[in-house]
Structure 1
Amino acid sequence: MTRTVPENVGVVGGGRMGAGIAQIFATLGSTVTVAETGDQQAVLTRVSDGLGRAHERGKLGDADPANVLSRVSTVGAPDGLPSALDLVVEAVPESLDLKLGVLALVEKIVAPSTVIASNTSSISIAALGAALNDPSRLIGMHFFNPVPASTLVEVIRAPATDGGVVDRVRDWVSQLGKIDVLVNDSPGFATSRLGVCLGLEAIRMLEEGVADAESIDRAMELGYRHPMGPLRSTDLVGLDVRLAIAEHLTKTLGERFAPPALLREKVERGELGRKTGQGFFAWS
């Protein structure tokens, strides 16, 4: 297969994940358009800050952060995306109805050859494909936070996904300097299913007074060589995100994924992790 960089990429959703996805494709050389209904300047600021950090760590090579940033632009809604895109990545919050609406709108706008990907961390790609007239071009591209620094991209193949789409996406992942894990479509896939299972049990242990948060995390980091403990990882992902995934997995896979009361209480208090400054740990 001839290796070609996606020249034009669309990203729907300009939060932390969407901005990170925009950053890595712009760094690769793609022209990126981000659709964000909220503060568009905040999207560009997130990308700019991310490029600054990458430059400080020597991850941009000879590339000038300002030149990379010039390849990123924003529009106010998905219907403002250009039609001539090689790839669109949907990165809106983890809501089935929201994602179905976005994907249906994207399909009406982009060319028939455009690959449509969802960054969902738990929702079945086949279920999302119900929004499309041509679900064969839909695939899961589950990036991890922070996107620029993470090595893994979970590629999810639904029964209807075209084999050529799978090949193109895996090649793009490789060109991004990342490693893909190809999994068949199932709620939670491989990473969220395992990660949420461990995270929920750690929360239950904290709830039951087995140990404090620092000790639970340190046990996994030192005993099992996890680079980050399950509670700090939950803070990084976002307690609200983890709660939404757990609720979805409870509906689809059973009560073993039922969220602990402590998780619900912290989300209700607005203690969502690093993004709010407080989760299971305090973040400066």
Structure 2
Amino acid sequence: MNNQYPNPNEWVVVLGSGASINDLPDDLKQWANKTVARIGINKYGTFYEKAGIMPSDIYFHDFHDKTSEYFFYETLNKTKKVASRFYVSATSKDLITQSLIYYIYSYSIFRILKMKSILIKLSRNLIKPIRKKWHNSLVFFLSNSFRKKPLLLKKNSEIDVVDVYYLWDNDNKWASNLNQKLYHFRGSLTSVLNLVSVKYSELNVLMLGVDLISKQYFFDDELQILFKKTGLGYDWTQSFMVNSGKHYSASIDSGVTIFDRFSYVVENLNKSGNQLFAYPNKNVIIFDGKVKDFI
């Protein structure tokens, strides 16, 4: 490993999904994999093997449409053997279990409900002629029951439920612990940096793949293939990115971009002893002096 890199025991890496991930030097990736923590944001975990940096922490708060649900399952399933800490919303936490017995039970119910039309037809032919009341009860249960596929994580995994503020909430402020809502302003990056200040204070923070002035992901080819096969892959932010040529957080929405409040983010990171860096240099320049050059 190149001696130009600092002591990895003093660093945390925040992993975005920008295309610059594909151009990272191999020795930088090796260094990053030795740092105290490597926090993969949202879709990063699905494609981490292509990136070459193994996440130790996964932050996945999005869970509001079919695409985000798909990537939630993919990310946790692909990283559950390598990551040890997961930060998720209350909605998605209900899908996670660390008990094999409960997983088998929950998955069985999920499979049964997936076959509800077949079960109703069988009941109509076999049960209804004998016990109409039983048939009606079964139909009511199956018709009004819905269960998502469960996720099984290791028993020693740390799972934290995190909540975030909405953009214009009056109380949208920096959290000092994970029982409070995390600061959130135009993107998950601000919430992840708030999380870093709580969980990893006094450590330097390096952002990789945080390409806010680009609309490209490091897994664009894989997204296109997925979209052609399933119609999934692009979420509601895609129109902003196409129109602006930038990441959603850097595109104007509600009259603001992530840069409008980034001074507040850096000020609070400084209070927790976290110095913020980025790589490559083009991802430093976009923050207008608020972020330091890594090398």
Give the structure-2-normalised TM-score. 0.29
Greater Rg by CA: 2
Give the structure-1-normalised TM-score. 0.29
